[in-house]
Chains A and B, each alone.
Chain A
Amino acid sequence: CVGPIRTASLLSQREHLSLTPEMATQEVQPNETLSNLKAESDTLKTKLEDERAKLHDVELHQVAEKVDGLGQFIMKTRRTLKGHGNKVLCMDWCKDKRRIVSSSQDGKVIVWDAFTTNKEHAVTMPCTWVMACAYAPSGCAVACGGLDNKCSVYPLSLDKNENLAAKKKSVAMHTNYLSACSFTNSDMQILTSSGDGTCALWDVESGQLLQSFHGHAADVLCLDLAPSETGNTFISGGCDKKANVWDMRSGQCIQSFETHESDINSVRYYPSGDAFASGSDDATCRLYDLRADREVAIYSKESIIFGASSVDFSLSGRLLFGGYNDYTINVWDVLKGTRVSILFGHENRVSALRVSPDGTAFCSGSWDHTLRVWA
């Protein structure tokens, strides 16, 4: 095969461009201290792995052998929500099990009654790439944010003609894009994660920062709050390939898992709160056991090469749904580790996926401008 001709001058231009940014910022480090730290770190890591390995007496699929296999699994698109003019980036369910809020690249945030497919509210954000949106537990407000580095709360109104932007409340302020947001157990607090590498807990009424969470070495892309009775922890996943478990009260990182080979796009708690799943650009989804403090399952296939952008569990925790960058949705048997089904339908990347609060369906949002509800 033949390639085009490049002149010498153009080549030298290219060389100039290929100088890596690291070279510009490299500091002079005392070599001894750095290598000592690295050696210590490696020893500790090996020791930790050994300790954990002692407790690892069985694999998940072995324990799951006694469980019945799932029969043929058929799910279809039951609703297609059309109305966004650009890539759908995020979505969230309302606790009433039928309403949805979704946000897209063109700055629009739409609240739908997915059951009737009617649009109930629409807000235009002053920025593009609204990457995070969340429905308030009361159903009376939505929060969203993105490239504006902020998270804003819009109270919803029964009056269809009311301009929602008038009552907008700016709550969170980060120094880089907002990647995810979630209300806690009430409308009064919001948890956010950002491209600036931090997560933060905010008081909605005053906009006050209640707690900040530092520990990721790169963009934080996703977060999820624990469903359990203690309700004091949350997990976050980032571009540093780490998934961290945080204590909301103290701001400390209490557990960390680094087994993925690429950015972690999505993290979601297991319904019992004792485990969580993650989806990553390395085309795998993984299950982490919080009590045993280790990764217990990898959901991958040779034929799945493109990254998983969003994951969620079914109500019982038996199924794990993953939306992928190759436009498909894979359904995994969490216990046996096998793929139960693959769903086609979207015409571009699946960017968001959430199971409804009562587990009757799940909704997927895609870069093809639509959202689909599957059951």
Chain B
Amino acid sequence: MTIRTLRDHGQHYRPRMACLKKVEAFVVEMQDPKSGVKASDQKLNITSIPHVITGQDILAWIVTKMKVTTEEAQAFGTMLVAYGYIYPLQNHRKLVLVADSTLYRFQTPYFWPVQKWPAEDIDYAIYLAKRNIRKKGMLEPYEQEHYNNLHKWMNYKWDFIVMQATEQYKASKERKKPDRVVLDCQERAYWIVHRPPRRTHSGMDYGLDRLIDPNAEENIFLTQALMRSAVKSSVSLTAFVKYVTTHHTHDPLLTNPVPSNPWITDNDEFWQLNMRNVDIPTKLSVERWALSFWELISDQRGRADFKLFLKKEHSGENMAFYEAAEEMRWGAATAIPEKSQFIFNTFLKPGAPRWINIDGRTMGLTVKGLDCPHRYVLDAAQTHIFLLMKKDTFYRYLKSPVYKDMQKKALVPAPHNFTDAQLEANAKNRNPGISPIVLWQQQEAEKAAAAVAARPIDVKAMVATNKLDRK
């Protein structure tokens, strides 16, 4: 059985390395004799190498051509070197662009990382064999290891490989010295890119191979898409702008949070002031609750405040139903029958202790659906209740004394103003905080206690245990 270790660093037919085509166009421009990077002849160990360019010239050219900053040009230049379009002459193993008089050359297009020419192991074996023939012991340790492995795997082809290597070696000896040196450098650079030394990363490494199997069934989908209604751009785009503008002050990366951003000052007071069970919330939080009903109930502190308001209005059953329905929808599959039964008994059946007020049709549909409960059976009722809270209760909440009171009491923490010494001290004493597991356990315990408290009193049971005095 033939085992081929084909490490293909350039994909055959996928546009995955689309970036390479753009890079190639760019590199071609760089080599233009008139408008490209200035090249000169350089002496390297007696031989004169033609078309050598310096790192700083490359950088300057990129800055001018792409109209970018030096840093960005540096990053892009390093990419060119990492992918093997430009190779360094002296420190050949370090594939970065150094912006000084370090010498580089353009790689010949034959060796460019194009899509149709994978860097095969057999070519690598021939290359290593050739170097071995030229001078024994010339291979680096990692190359020696590759060589030994290839010798083992490709043993059946080894005669062919040695024959190829010898022919190439003979052919190169017939060339003129400068040509030979140039070719050696190019080939060496190519293999550094495609078979990188230990503990360096290869620019050609693109991660896992991706499959493709284009075979789409589009027409039904397109017909449906045509029937779908869409909104005018002006309407939806204005909505985005509105969202961004209203949330601008709440975005910690745009408006400095008060008292300070914990990641910058190493002081976590900001998080502590915004915890779920804090007594007095911050003014910013309270303002955010007013932006929309969803913002209010997404914030756990806000939701708690809203529930307080509902309790005063004696309409807490809506929120309780919503939460119970959410729990069922996102919960474990095995818990669904039990939860649906509980919800029916508590919220939906006639004379239920926390009966919710929904229209007859929805109630009918829901109760019927509960015969065969599934996780989405309460969707209609849940949406109805949610919309009721969103369109009516929410606005009453915002006008209520509960909310207005909270607005007045809300904290406006003073911004931190740490000295450098204090910042250093903060960095050394970062608060480890409470583990989310502990917080979760606390929350679950609270919920369980609340559930017990909310359960309707069973009169018969109390009589049975003589707790209720019937006099």
Residues of chain A having any CB pair with chain B under 8 Å = 1-5, 7, 9-10, 18, 20-22, 37, 40-41, 44-45, 47-48, 51-52, 55-60, 63-64, 66-67, 70, 75, 78-79, 87, 94-99, 113, 115-116, 118, 120, 129, 131, 138-140, 147, 156-158, 176-177, 184-186, 188-189, 195, 197, 203-206, 208, 210, 215, 217-219, 221, 228-230, 239-240, 249, 253-256, 261-263, 270-272, 274-275, 281-283, 289, 291-294, 296, 302-303, 305-307, 314-319, 325-328, 334-335, 342, 344, 348, 358-361, 367-368, 373, 375
- A204 to B244, Cβ gap below 8 A? no
Kindly identify which residue among B171, B233, B436 contacts A289, using a CB–CB cutoff of 8 Å: B233
Which of B133-141, B328-336, B346-354, B409-417 binds A?
B328-336
Give chain B interface residues in 220-273, CB to chain A under 8 Å.
Answer: 221-223, 225-226, 228, 230-241, 243-245, 247-248, 250-254, 257, 261-264, 268, 270-271
Q: Mark B1-38, 1 if CB is under 8 A from A, else 0.
A: 00000000000110110110011001000000000000
Given contacts A318-B248, A344-B71, contact A115 B262 (CB under 8 A): yes
- B254 to A314, Cβ gap below 8 A? yes
- B233 to A271, Cβ gap below 8 A? no
Residues of chain B having any CB pair with chain A under 8 Å = 12-13, 15-16, 18-19, 22-23, 26, 66-69, 71-72, 75-76, 78-79, 108-110, 116, 160, 164, 167-168, 171, 175, 179, 182-183, 186-187, 201, 205, 207-208, 210-216, 218-219, 221-223, 225-226, 228, 230-241, 243-245, 247-248, 250-254, 257, 261-264, 268, 270-271, 274, 293-294, 326-327, 330-334, 375-376, 379, 383, 386, 390, 430-433, 435-440
Kindly identify which residue among B171, B205, B236, B250 contacts A291, using a CB–CB cutoff of 8 Å: B236
Kindly identify which residue among A5, A229, A272 contacts B239, using a CB–CB cutoff of 8 Å: A272
The residues of A that contact B271 with a CB separation of less than 8 Å are 97-98, 358
Instruction: For the complex formed, measure the closest distance between the CB of A114 and the CB atoms of chain B, giving whole angstroms.
Output: 8
- B331 to A188, Cβ gap below 8 A? yes
- B239 to A315, Cβ gap below 8 A? no
- B226 to A67, Cβ gap below 8 A? no
Q: In the complex the two chains form, what is the Cα distance from A256 to B212 in whole Å?
A: 18
Instruction: For the complex formed, measure the closest distance between the CB of B404 and the CB atoms of chain A, giving whole angstroms.
Output: 25
- B210 to A219, Cβ gap below 8 A? yes
The residues of B that contact A41 with a CB separation of less than 8 Å are 218-219, 222
The residues of B that contact A271 with a CB separation of less than 8 Å are 243, 247
Q: In the complex the two chains form, what is the Cα distance from A254 to B240 in whole Å?
A: 22
The residues of A that contact B257 with a CB separation of less than 8 Å are 360
- B263 to A79, Cβ gap below 8 A? yes
Q: In terms of DSSP, what is the predominant structure of the interface of chain A?
A: loop
Kindly identify which residue among B15, B19, B211, B375 contacts A176, using a CB–CB cutoff of 8 Å: B211
The residues of B that contact A205 with a CB separation of less than 8 Å are 332-334
Instruction: For the complex formed, measure the closest distance between the CB of A67 and the CB atoms of chain B, giving whole angstroms.
Output: 6
